[in-house]
Amino acid sequence: MELSKNYIPGQVEEKWNEHWKTKKYFKSLPPDQGGLPPEEGGLPTDNRPPFTVVIPPPNVTGVLHMGHTLNETVQDILVRNARMSGFNACWVPGSDHASIATEAKVVDMLKREKGIDKKDLSREEFLKYAFEWKEKYGNIIYNQIEKLGCSVDWDRVSFTMDDHYYKAVIKVFVDLYNKGLIYRGARMINWDPAAKTALSDEEVEYKDVTGKLYYIKYEIADERQSSTDNRQFITIATQRPETIMGDVAVCANPNDERYTNLKGKKVIVPLINKEVPVIFDEYVDKDFGTGILKITPAHDINDFNIGLKYNLPIVDTLNEDGTLSEAAQIFIGEDRFVARKKIVEELREKGLLAKEEEYQTRLGYSQRTNVVAEPKISTQWFVKMKGLAQPALEAVTSGNINIHPGEKFNATYKYWLENVKDWCISRQLWWGQQIPAWYDEEGRFVVAETKEKAKEVFNNQHSVANAQLKQDEDVLDTWFSSWLWPIEVFKGITEPGNKDINYYYPTSVLVTGQDIIFFWVARMIMAGMEYMNEKPFSDVYFTGMVRDKLGRKMSKSLGNSPDLLTLIHEYGADAVRFGIMISSPAGNDLLFDESSLEQGKHFNNKLWNAMKLLKLWEESSKFKVGSSKLKAEDRSQFAILWFQNRLIEVRHEVETLIKQFRLSEALKTIYSLIWDDFCSWFLEWIKPEYGKSIDKDVYERAVSFFDELLQILHPFMPFITEEIYHLLKERNDDLTVKQFVPVKQADKEYLLLGEKLKNLISAIRDARNKNNLKPKESISLFIETNDPSSYDSIKEILAKQTNADLILFNESPEGTSVMTVAGNEKIYIKSDAAIDTGVQKKKLTRDLNYLKGFLISVEKKL
RNA sequence: GGGAGCAUAGCUCAGUUGGUUUAGAGCAUCUGCCUUACAAGCAGAGGGUCCGCGGUUCGAACCCGUGUGCUCCCACCA
C-alpha cells in the first residue's frame, strides 16, 4: 500500500467515527440488563465497575466554542482512559434548553425572517416556533461533539425539555413547595418600559454615562415652629428627582454626628409635601453625597432592601410604560425623563434645589430596546437556600467530593455556600418549564403538578364547586432544570430506583467551567443531596476560561471564537484536541493560540512517519525466523532494555497524572516519550545500516513498543492512533476498546535503577569499544538519600547488575560517593550530602539523562 | 464595594511537599543541512533582574507581607 507523505486526517476521522458507531463501542448498559451482546462489542458477563460522566449540556441552539472544545476533550480523555482501564464507561450527551438565550434567538429569528413580533403570538404558537427551531438547529452541537471524537453514548441523548425531564422539574418544584422550601416574594427586577417586559439580569447592559446629581432640600418638619423664617432643611443628593414622590423615609448613618439631631424627626418631601420619617442605618456611606439618603423602595434595589428591613411602605410612582402613575400625585402621565426636567425646574423655582453637578455613573440599559432599564418591584418565586446549602457544603469540606484544583476553588465554593442567598427561580419568559401554580380570579392559588390535580386541591381547600384556574405565566430558571441533570438523565426523579440510576449514580467526574461553580455545580450538589441523599459526582474538574489573544472571554456575541469545524478541517480533530490540552492544566485560563494546534499537527505527522519507517523495514527486510540472535552488548539490545524501562516509567507516571487530573502534564510526558525517546533515540539506535535489513526480533520489539505508545496516547488522540494501529499490522481488534495491561508494581525503583545502570554501562562500553575511544575518567551520578541502609541495597543491585568487581561508598565533605569498578570501567556514583530529606528519585533521572547525553556525544563522533 | 485568582523567553504556556534547573516546551527569529520515516524534519544559536519591593531560609519562580497591572464571580451606592 502506498502511504502518503504526510498524515491526512479528514477521511481517517470519518472512517473511524463510522466504525466505532457501527460497533456500538460507546454504548453502555447496566450489568443486570445483560451488558452488551458480544456481537455488539460487549462483554458477555459484565462485572465492570461503572465510570459515569454527564456532559455539561451546551445550549441547544448554540455552537461549540473553544471553551466547550476544552471541556469535551477533557471528558473524552477521562472516559476513554476509563474504558481502556476496564470500566463500564458511560458518557451521557445532551443539551440545555437555555431559556433566555434560546428565547431571545427565536424572538430575533421570528422578527427577522418572518416579520412576526412575539407579542402578536400566543404562548402555544410561540412554543411551536421554538420547538421547530430546536429541531432545526439543535443537532449542530451533536455533530460537532462527534467530529471531535467524543465517545458518548448516543442512545442516551438528553434534553432538559424532554417530556420526562419536564415532568421531573415540575415534580421537584411541587415537592419543594410542599416542603416549604419554595415561596412567593417581592423582588426588584429590571423593567424595560419600552417593551413593557421584565428583563433578566443578563439582558441588562451597563454603560458608563455622565449623569447629574441633584441636591434637593427637604424641610425638617417641626410642628411647633411653622413660621417661614425658621425653616430648616437637609440636603439630599439623587440622580433621579422624578422618584421623590415615592420616598417613604430618609436615612442617615447612625454614626454620622451631623444628623444625630434628626432622631425621631420627620422631613417633608418637596412638591407633594408628604411627611416621612428619618431612619438610621449603617448602609449609608457618610462620605458620599450629603451623607443622607432618600428611601424609595419601589424604584431602587438598595432602598427596597432597606424598606424590607424597616418595614416601610412601597409607593410605586411609575406606570409600566415609564410614565408617572397616579401615586406620583403630580405630572401624572408624563414620561419619566420629561417629568425629571419639570420637577427639577419646579424645585429650582421654589428654591429647593441646592445644586446640581456632573456625575459619572453606570446605568443599566435594556439590550432589546436600548432604553434605560427601570428597577421595578415584582412578585417572584424563590427557593430557600440555607437548608439545602448545608449538606452541599459538607460534601465538599468533608472531602466526599473533590474539587480540582482544590486549592483554587474550595475557598470560593465555601464562601458562597456560607453566604448563600435565596434563589429567584421564576422568569418572565415562555420557553421553559411553566410554573405549576394555579390561580383563581381572586388571586388565590395552589401548587400542583397538573391542572386537574390543582382543581381538586383548590376545590377542597376553598370549598368551591368548580374553580376556574389559570396557570402562572412564568417559567422556571434554566438552572432549576439543569441542577437535576446528573439525576434525571437516568430518570432518577421520574422513575426513582430504576436500574440506570442505581448503577450509574453517583457519577464519577464532572468537567465544567469555573464560571458556573455557583449557578450549576453547587446547585447540582444540593439537588443530589436532597433527592438522592448522595453526592452527584465524586470529582469536579474545573477547566479555565478560554480567551482570545486580547484576553477576552470567547463568546458568540463578540465573534472571537474560531469555528470548531473549520479548525478540525484545517488541523484534524486529534491536533485540535492536542492543541487545546497541551497547555491548559485544570483551572488555569488559556489564551487560545493556534500555534499549539500546529504543534499537534506536527505531532500527528511524526507518528505517521514513525509508522512509515516501521512499515519500510518490514517490507525491505529479508530476515528469516530465528536467524538472528541478540548479543548482550549489541546496541539494539541496549536500546530495547532502555526503552522498555522508559516505557514502564512513563506508563506509571501517566497513570498517576491522570488520576490526579493533571492531563496536560500527562500529554506532555507522552509527547516527549514518543518524539524524543522513541523517535529520536530508540528508532535511530536500532536503525540498520544502509542496505542492510533489520533484525526480526528487534523489529518486532519496536512494533510492540509502538503499539504500547499508541495505546497510551489513544485517549488523547483517538483517530490517528487507531489508524496507525491498524496500518502497522493486520488486527482483529480495535484500539478504542483494547484494555491496558496494568503496570506491575514489581518494577521496583532500585530494580529499575539497576536495569538502567546495566544498560547504560554496557552501552557505554559498547560504544567505546567500537569507536576506540578513551574512557572518560568518571561519570557522576547523584543519588540522594537519607537512608544509609539503602546504600547496601544499591550496592547489591549494582554488583549484580554490573558484574562489578568492587563497589565502594566513600564519605567525603562533598558527599558520599559510590564507585563501581567493572572490568576496566570505573563509574562513580555520588550523592549530595547537603540533601537530607527523602529519596530523590527525580535526581537520578536527571543524571541518567546526563549519561544519555554522554552517549550521544560518543555516538556523534562515530 | 465584597470574594477569588493570575503575572515566567517576542507570542502561547509548563514548572505539586522550597534543593532535578547556570529556569523549560511549542511557535516565532537566526545559522547550517531536501542525510534513503519525517523540511509539518534534523543539527545548532540567540533570547528571561521568573511583575516591583520587603521578609522567612543554608537555599525562593515556588512560602509570607506589600505595591502595581489584568481576569472571573457576586453586589452595583443615593
Q: Is the CB of A659 under 7 A from strand B?
A: no
Q: Is the CB of A664 under 7 A from strand B?
A: yes
A849: nearest Cα among A634, A662, A651, A672: A672
Q: What is the pLDDT of residue A228?
A: 60
Helix orientation angle between A595-620 and A696-713, rounded to the nearest 10 degrees: 150
User: Higher pLDDT residue, A689 or A214?
Assistant: A214
Q: Mind giving me the DSSP string for A493-506?
A: TTSTT-HHHHHHPS
**Stated in angstroms, how far is A769 CA from B43 C1'?**
26
Whether A289 shows a pLDDT value over 80: the answer reads no
**Stated in angstroms, how far is A432 CA from B3 C1'?**
32
Whether A846 shows a pLDDT value over 90: the answer reads no
Given a contact cutoff of 8 angstroms between Cβ atoms, the answer to whether A721 and A714 are in contact is: yes
- Amino acid identity at A736: T
**Stated in angstroms, how far is A1 CA from B26 C1'?**
33
Q: What is the mean pLDDT of chain A?
A: 80
Q: How far apart are CA A661 and CA A670, in angstroms?
A: 15
Whether A640 shows a pLDDT value over 90: the answer reads no
Compute the average pLDDT of residues A604-631: 71
Compute the 3-state secondary structure of chain A and give helix, strand, coil in percent, each to the nearest 5: 45, 20, 35
Q: Which of A354-358, A571-575, A789-793, A845-849 is predicted least confidently?
A: A845-849
Q: Given CA atoms A467, A473, A479, A484 in this order, what sign does their dihedral have?
A: positive
Which residue is nearest nucleotide B19, judged by alpha carbon to C1' distance?
Answer: A835
Q: What is the pLDDT of residue A222?
A: 72
Q: Each residue of A729-739: pLDDT tens digit?
A: 999 999 999 99
Q: Is the CB of A693 under 7 A from strand B?
A: no
Burial A185-218 (b: 16+ CB within 10 A, else e): eebbbbbbbeeebbbbeebbeeeeeeeebbbbbb
Whether A132 shows a pLDDT value over 80: the answer reads yes
Compute the average pLDDT of residues A752-758: 46
User: Which nucleotide is the nearest neighbour of A604, by CA and C1'?
Assistant: B40
Q: Each residue of A62-80: pLDDT tens digit?
A: 888 888 899 999 999 999 9
Compute the average pLDDT of residues A91-116: 90
Q: Each residue of A810-829: pLDDT tens digit?
A: 333 333 333 333 333 333 33
User: Which nucleotide is the nearest neighbour of A587, by CA and C1'?
Assistant: B5
Residue with cell 380570579: A441
Q: What is the pLDDT of residue A67?
A: 85
Q: What is the pLDDT of residue A176?
A: 96
Whether A136 shows a pLDDT value over 60: the answer reads yes
Q: Is the CB of A595 under 7 A from strand B?
A: yes
User: Which nucleotide is the nearest neighbour of A606, by CA and C1'?
Assistant: B38
Residues 270-309 of A with CB under 7 A from strand B: 283-291, 293-294, 301-302
Q: Mind giving me the DSSP string for A665-732?
A: HHHHHHHHIIIIIIIIIIIHHHPPPTTPPPPHHHHHHHHHHHHHHHHHHTTTSHHHHHHHHHHHS--S
Q: pLDDT category, A799, cuts 50, 70, 90? A: very low
Whether A406 shows a pLDDT value over 50: the answer reads yes
Residue with cell 489513544: A714
Backbone region of residue A707 per phi and psi (left: phi > 0; alpha: psi in -120 to 50; beta: other values): alpha
Whether A807 shows a pLDDT value over 60: the answer reads no
Q: Is the CB of A591 under 7 A from strand B?
A: yes
Q: How far apart are CA A605 and CA A678, in angstroms?
A: 14
Q: What is the pLDDT of residue A437?
A: 96
**Stated in angstroms, how far is A592 CA from B31 C1'?**
31
Whether A439 shows a pLDDT value over 90: the answer reads yes
Residues 528-547 of A with CB under 7 A from strand B: 545, 547
Q: Is the CB of A518 under 7 A from strand B?
A: yes
Compute the average pLDDT of residues A824-838: 29
**Stated in angstroms, how far is A253 CA from B43 C1'?**
75
Q: Please report the ipTM that was assigned to this predicted complex.
A: 0.93
Maximum average pLDDT range among A200-204, A563-567, A693-697? A563-567
Residues 192-211 of A with CB under 7 A from strand B: 201, 206
Helix orientation angle between A66-84 and A663-672, rounded to the nearest 10 degrees: 70
**Stated in angstroms, how far is A49 CA from B10 C1'?**
50
**Stated in angstroms, how far is A828 CA from B24 C1'?**
28
- Amino acid identity at A542: F
Residues 817-836 of A with CB under 7 A from strand B: 834-836
Nucleotides of B under 7 A from a protein CB: 3-6, 11-17, 19-21, 25-27, 36-43, 58, 70-78
Q: Each residue of A137-147: pLDDT tens digit?
A: 888 999 999 99
Q: Each residue of A25-36: pLDDT tens digit?
A: 999 998 865 555
Q: What are phi and psi of A557, to 5 degrees?
A: -65, -30
**Stated in angstroms, how far is A281 CA from B65 C1'?**
35
Q: What is the pLDDT of residue A185?
A: 87
Given a contact cutoff of 8 angstroms between Cβ atoms, the answer to whether A331 and A322 are in contact is: no
Q: pLDDT category, A104, cuts 50, 70, 90? A: confident
**Stated in angstroms, how far is A644 CA from B47 C1'?**
37
Distances (CA, A) of A320 to A316, A336, A343: 10, 11, 20
Q: How far apart are CA A450 and CA A769, in angstroms?
A: 90
Backbone region of residue A556 per phi and psi (left: phi > 0; alpha: psi in -120 to 50; beta: other values): alpha
Q: What is the pLDDT of residue A211?
A: 80
Whole-model pTM: value is 0.83
Which residue is nearest nucleotide B35, judged by alpha carbon to C1' distance?
Answer: A690
User: Higher pLDDT residue, A807 or A42?
Assistant: A42
Compute the average pLDDT of residues A399-420: 85
Q: Is the CB of A615 under 7 A from strand B?
A: no
Q: How far apart are CA A346 and CA A272, in angstroms?
A: 12
Q: Is the CB of A7 under 7 A from strand B?
A: yes
Q: Which of A172-176, A281-285, A349-353, A526-530 is predicted least confidently?
A: A281-285
Whether A768 shows a pLDDT value over 50: the answer reads no
Q: How many residues in total does chain A contain?
A: 862
Q: What is the pLDDT of residue A226?
A: 56
Q: Is the CB of A839 under 7 A from strand B?
A: no
